[in-house]
Chains A and B, each alone.
Chain A
């Protein structure tokens, strides 16, 4: 994953719990340096080890940690560092999620190591949305759930995730998130 993900994870722990806890996370993860460069590709293993170590040190389960990280990504990293891009991607949750693939397509043309997920979005009814998450990575459903919750807050479109359904795949992840919109 790109360094920006690891930087965001570090920022979340530092903001919420301070340097001592982050030092413990680093030590537990066995990651020697946290000087990540945003646009450099790092081994996924580093991100996973940091996430697992964070959950260990904070005494929460990994899914809770990943969910919190998904929310942090949208609320802080996306909002602060990629705000203009995020705003041009969409002004509603549906528009945003629909344009996400196109955004990832464009990023892939420049960053050759970039391996983004794919989102298939469909508005089933006025208050229901179906979001399919497809990735070669595994174990990040809670992160995506956190992203969706934070996006609904960003666009002021309250919703709940009714169901998370894992679809059968040979490798990676294909998950359907069924969203019930409040309006």
Chain B
């Protein structure tokens, strides 16, 4: 094979020059593109515009002087671009060859691919391979975009389904909560009218079943929506010693009944109070202690709280609550699922109690929401041991009222309340329920009716409890309009709804509503809430002056009469006896705290006794205690000299109460 043939085998663009620079031969591709006849003269360098080498003048000698340089040229007329190099002849004759291939990138961009054929490129040339790779990558990109589009569509579809599911759960939740409200209220009223212990026990059981149903509804809704229950997670100032004692107290009777020892242990190193999501922690402890008592037949149950780490990164204290028992423990095969929903942990060996199996699951979920965790271990006797791990910030000052103290009070109100609910059942039952704790209730079945009542009312309303979901307008609109009416200028506006989404709570707040009550509600719970709201409002209205509130009588007989009507005389006498013992302890505690300048303790003692006194009609001393409490909260700290006067008012009021009770009983 001659040199010319060899070059044509290796390259598709081959041009031969003689020493004068004339083209003597050109390869088929070149002849075809320039339509050259045999032996036709051809100005190769003059036909192309060369991009490289720069400033190349198109002379052969110049080209030969640049051995190894890459020549890049294009010819618009021939629709051909080339890439190659000059190879001088070895015989020093001055002749040379240009060898190369089509410049694919230029041709594709400027002349279109159709002008190139597969055979225009020799097998060793990599331009086609690169083209294949680039086009493949482009295709891969298109595929990925397509797949991404599919995923986006699937995501949108899934979100749509999630929205439908969310709406469904909201709807179901609302529909279930509404009748549960009726049942719960009816049971509370029914129990009031029953004296037979067996019947009351049955009502209590039915009420517990309602609680479980509500628990299931709340779990289903919370699980479906992932909704953060903002109110529940709200941190308030809590004395952990007090919290542990209160939780233990709830189960004292149950433990005693089973012959169990219920122990509490509190670490002395704990601070006086912490910012703590009280409702969640309290519920968690109640749930754990309840289970411990339920599943332990003999021995003991313990509840402890200790300071694990006093200086965690966030500046708070790492607190460990532990609930342990001497019961049979949790079998190994159930431990993995102990926190799973609907897992009751009941085996043949531990077949007691019952429940929805949502307790541990919802406890874990709730603790997780507030940054805590719960773990399961063994007690030293092989029973169950649950530990709650929480980091809490120390509360240097505690302006908040500890709600646990309020929750157990017996409340008797003397306030007017506007109740708005479009459900006739709930309107009737909740009206009666609120009346049973002293409210003077005016009922409205629609937003427009509520507004009409308020507009025509001469007497102001202390509270407006407004259903949100109404046929004619929303409860938010009602609240906003009520606030403009004279009768509602100082009304405490409270939202009432079977929905409990964060969005609705925010809308309620925006409409000027100071609290959000989720249906169904318990009498004690709403009483505690309204008590705190009304107290707050009264303080705000009266400022520091107490003269206007000061009653002449040491106690108000009408309040007690109503209470006797509600609770029975014997129960009120028992309460008075209890108040005497606890009241004197509170006053002693108040005195000691003031002497020691422990104002948080003093405030708590005043608050506790004030609530008890007001509940039993000892209005005078109750209000005075409230004033002392309010002064301390405002930073006006009294000394211990206020206590003797309070003691005198208390004993006088109590004596009057006893006289009154005796008088009533002797009739």
Interface of A toward B, CB cutoff 8 Å: 3-4, 35-40, 81, 84-85, 87-91, 99, 102-103, 105-107, 109-111
Asked if B133 is an interface residue, CB under 8 A from chain A, the answer is yes
Interface of B toward A, CB cutoff 8 Å: 113-114, 116-120, 123, 128-129, 132-133, 135-137, 139-140, 142-144, 146-147, 150
Q: Which residues of B contact A40 (CB under 8 A)?
A: 140
Question: When A90-B118, A99-B119 are in contact, do A38 and B128 touch as well, CB less than 8 Å?
Answer: no
**CB-based contact B128/A106 at 8 Å:** yes
**CB-based contact A102/B123 at 8 Å:** yes
Question: When A38-B139, A38-B140 are in contact, do A84 and B132 touch as well, CB less than 8 Å?
Answer: no
Residue of B116, B139, B146, B150 touching A88 (CB-CB under 8 A): B116
A159 to B69, alpha carbons, bound, how many Å?
Answer: 50
Q: Which residue of B lies closest to A109 (CB)?
A: B129
**CB-based contact A81/B139 at 8 Å:** yes
Q: Which residues of B contact A106 (CB under 8 A)?
A: 123, 128-129, 132
Q: Which residues of B contact A111 (CB under 8 A)?
A: 136
Q: Which residues of B contact A37 (CB under 8 A)?
A: 140, 143-144, 147
**CB-based contact A35/B118 at 8 Å:** no
Question: When A99-B119, A106-B132 are in contact, do A87 and B113 touch as well, CB less than 8 Å?
Answer: yes
Question: When A39-B139, A39-B140, A88-B113 are in contact, do A110 and B129 touch as well, CB less than 8 Å?
Answer: yes
Q: Which residues of A contact B116 (CB under 8 A)?
A: 88
A171 to B116, alpha carbons, bound, how many Å?
Answer: 38
Q: Which residues of B contact A102 (CB under 8 A)?
A: 118, 123
Q: Which residues of B contact A81 (CB under 8 A)?
A: 139
**CB-based contact B136/A110 at 8 Å:** yes
Q: Which residues of B contact A36 (CB under 8 A)?
A: 143
Q: Tell me, rounded to whole Å, the shortest Cβ–Cβ distance linking B201 to chain A.
A: 57
**CB-based contact A35/B147 at 8 Å:** yes
**CB-based contact B118/A38 at 8 Å:** no
Q: Pick the 5 closest A-B CB pairs, nearest first.
A: A84-B113, A39-B136, A37-B143, A99-B118, A38-B139
A40 to B119, alpha carbons, bound, how many Å?
Answer: 28
Residue of A4, A87, A107 touching B132 (CB-CB under 8 A): A107
A30 to B433, alpha carbons, bound, how many Å?
Answer: 62
A111 to B129, alpha carbons, bound, how many Å?
Answer: 10
**CB-based contact B113/A38 at 8 Å:** no
A110 to B133, alpha carbons, bound, how many Å?
Answer: 7
**CB-based contact A88/B143 at 8 Å:** no
**CB-based contact A110/B132 at 8 Å:** yes
**CB-based contact B118/A103 at 8 Å:** yes
A7 to B435, alpha carbons, bound, how many Å?
Answer: 73
**CB-based contact A3/B143 at 8 Å:** yes
Q: Which residues of B contact A91 (CB under 8 A)?
A: 117
Q: Which residues of B contact A109 (CB under 8 A)?
A: 129
**CB-based contact A105/B119 at 8 Å:** no
Q: Which residue of A lies closest to B130 (CB)?
A: A110
Q: Tell me, rounded to whole Å, the shortest Cβ–Cβ distance linking A121 to chain B.
A: 14
**CB-based contact B132/A89 at 8 Å:** no
**CB-based contact A87/B129 at 8 Å:** no
Q: Tell me, rounded to whole Å, the shortest Cβ–Cβ distance linking A81 to chain B.
A: 7
**CB-based contact B123/A105 at 8 Å:** yes
Q: Which residue of B lies closest to A107 (CB)?
A: B132
**CB-based contact A87/B150 at 8 Å:** no
**CB-based contact A84/B114 at 8 Å:** yes
Q: Which residue of A lies closest to B135 (CB)?
A: A85
Q: Tell me, rounded to whole Å, the shortest Cβ–Cβ distance linking A43 to chain B.
A: 18
Q: Which residues of A contact B135 (CB under 8 A)?
A: 85
A4 to B136, alpha carbons, bound, how many Å?
Answer: 11
Q: Tell me, rounded to whole Å, the shortest Cβ–Cβ distance linking A92 to chain B.
A: 11
Q: Which residues of A contact B150 (CB under 8 A)?
A: 35
Q: Which residues of A contact B142 (CB under 8 A)?
A: 38
A106 to B135, alpha carbons, bound, how many Å?
Answer: 14
A39 to B141, alpha carbons, bound, how many Å?
Answer: 10
Q: Which residues of B contact A88 (CB under 8 A)?
A: 113-114, 116-118, 120
**Can you list 19 A-B contacts with CB-CB less than 8 angstroms, sorted by A residue number?**
A35-B147, A36-B143, A37-B147, A39-B136, A81-B139, A84-B114, A85-B132, A85-B135, A88-B116, A88-B117, A89-B118, A90-B117, A90-B118, A99-B118, A106-B123, A107-B132, A110-B133, A110-B136, A111-B136
Q: Tell me, rounded to whole Å, the shortest Cβ–Cβ distance linking B161 to chain A.
A: 19
Q: Which residues of A contact B114 (CB under 8 A)?
A: 84, 87-88
A36 to B142, alpha carbons, bound, how many Å?
Answer: 12
A84 to B120, alpha carbons, bound, how many Å?
Answer: 14
Q: Which residues of A contact B147 (CB under 8 A)?
A: 35, 37
Residue of A38, A85, A107 touching B143 (CB-CB under 8 A): A38
A90 to B120, alpha carbons, bound, how many Å?
Answer: 11
A38 to B129, alpha carbons, bound, how many Å?
Answer: 17
A37 to B132, alpha carbons, bound, how many Å?
Answer: 16
Q: A35-B150, A38-B140, A39-B140 are in contact. List 6 more A-B contacts (CB 8 A).
A: A4-B139, A35-B146, A35-B147, A38-B143, A91-B117, A110-B129
Q: Which residue of A lies closest to B142 (CB)?
A: A38
Q: Which residues of B contact A103 (CB under 8 A)?
A: 118
Q: Tell me, rounded to whole Å, the shortest Cβ–Cβ distance linking A84 to chain B.
A: 4
A170 to B150, alpha carbons, bound, how many Å?
Answer: 44
Q: Which residues of B contact A110 (CB under 8 A)?
A: 129, 132-133, 136
Q: Which residues of A contact B139 (CB under 8 A)?
A: 4, 38-39, 81
Q: Which residues of A contact B137 (CB under 8 A)?
A: 39
Interface centre among A4, A87, A89, A103 (most CB of B within 10 A): A87
Interface centre among A88, A90, A105, A110 (most CB of B within 10 A): A88
Q: Tell me, rounded to whole Å, the shortest Cβ–Cβ distance linking B85 to chain A.
A: 23
Q: Tell me, rounded to whole Å, the shortest Cβ–Cβ distance linking B154 to chain A.
A: 10
Q: Tell me, rounded to whole Å, the shortest Cβ–Cβ distance linking B82 to chain A.
A: 17
A128 to B146, alpha carbons, bound, how many Å?
Answer: 44
Q: Tell me, rounded to whole Å, the shortest Cβ–Cβ distance linking A165 to chain B.
A: 29
Q: Which residue of A lies closest to B112 (CB)?
A: A84
Q: Which residues of B contact A4 (CB under 8 A)?
A: 139
A114 to B339, alpha carbons, bound, how many Å?
Answer: 52
A37 to B116, alpha carbons, bound, how many Å?
Answer: 28
Q: Which residue of A lies closest to B132 (CB)?
A: A110
Q: Which residues of A contact B133 (CB under 8 A)?
A: 110
A102 to B119, alpha carbons, bound, how many Å?
Answer: 9
A183 to B501, alpha carbons, bound, how many Å?
Answer: 80
Q: Which residues of A contact B113 (CB under 8 A)?
A: 84, 87-88
Q: Which residues of A contact B123 (CB under 8 A)?
A: 102, 105-106
Q: Tell me, rounded to whole Å, the shortest Cβ–Cβ distance linking B477 to chain A.
A: 48
Q: Tell me, rounded to whole Å, the shortest Cβ–Cβ distance linking B141 to chain A.
A: 10
